[in-house]
Structure 1
Amino acid sequence: MSDTQISTTGGQPGNANLVYILYLVGAFIGLAGLVGVIMAYVGKDDADELTKSHYINQIHIFWKGFAYLIAGVILSVVLIGFLVILFWFVWHIVRTVKGMNELSKGNPYPIELARSWLF
């Protein structure tokens, strides 16, 4: 038998991975992303350094993505907004998958990449 224990605290890498999954779902269903960012804010304080770096990345993904979406919606009046929304979609997926990849390797997410507005 396995002695594996499942923790329900927010500071576990499994919870950070769940937030990434919620972000992928959130690209299609917006409320999933909102749940994810709330989980990231709640888990950030109790997390180890590895997981905390991913929570910080997830918070950056949410707020920067929100800014891209607002700009895209506003600019869609002059049609360029649809390109901004398309950019947001690609950016959101790439940043989320990069974060999941780093977490699965056991690497912290580099803070300079988390702060970046690009990929």
Structure 2
Amino acid sequence: MTDQKSPSSDSNFDMNKSTIISLLYIASFVVGITGLIGGILAFVWKDEVAGTWEESHLQYHIMTFIVGIIVGVVGVILSFVLIGIPLLFALAVWVLVRSIMALLKAQKQEPMADPKTLLF
């Protein structure tokens, strides 16, 4: 008798709402507009996932989006005096790490521990 895996096994890639937004944020490093699309989708979908594990993910993505926009604008303004360049680099690393963390948890269908944190 062979051991068959269930459809929700680790070998399958679950394309849930949080995964889609995480991938859009990550893709924004190549195609910039996808980050904006991901942020808009997080706002649009937040009511649809109320009460589920995905609710914490969308709060996390919304926080990432808002902080990213604010720090990005400040970084661009400060780049004229060269202080903004390291700030923009740090922002890129921060967004990438948060997106990967959310993606990994979304694949396990686990909620984010503290979706309103500025940390990871």
Question: Does structure 2 retain, via aligned residues, the 8 Å contact 1:26–1:33?
Answer: yes
Give the deviation of 1:13 after TM superposition.
6.4
How far apart in 2 are the matches of 1:18 and 1:49?
Answer: 16
How far apart in 2 are the matches of 1:117 and 1:50?
Answer: 19
How far apart in 1 are the matches of 2:25 and 2:83?
Answer: 25
Question: Does structure 1 retain, via aligned residues, the 8 Å contact 2:59–2:116?
Answer: no
Give the deviation of 1:67 after TM superposition.
1.2
Alignment of 1:18-97 (within 5 A): 18-47=20-49, 48-97=51-100
How far apart in 2 are the matches of 1:117 and 1:77?
Answer: 26
Give the deviation of 1:118 after TM superposition.
3.4
Q: Which has the higher contact order (CA 8 A, sep 6+)?
A: 2
Aligned residue identity for 1:92: V
How far apart in 2 are the matches of 1:60 and 1:13?
Answer: 21
Alignment of 1:7-22 (within 5 A): 14-22=16-24
Give the deviation of 1:27 after TM superposition.
2.7
Question: Of the two, which has the highest radius of gyration?
Answer: 2
Give the aligned length: 107
1:103 aligns with 2:106: yes
Give the deviation of 1:42 after TM superposition.
1.4
Aligned partner of residue 16 in structure 2, secondary structure = helix
TM-score normalised per structure 2: 0.80
Larger fraction in helix: 1
Unaligned segments of structure 2, at least 5 residues: 1-6, 8-13
Identity among equivalent pairs (%):
31
How far apart in 2 are the matches of 1:13 and 1:55?
Answer: 14
How far apart in 2 are the matches of 1:19 and 1:117?
Answer: 18
TM-score normalised per structure 1: 0.81
Give the deviation of 1:40 after TM superposition.
1.1
Unaligned segments of structure 1, at least 5 residues: 5-11
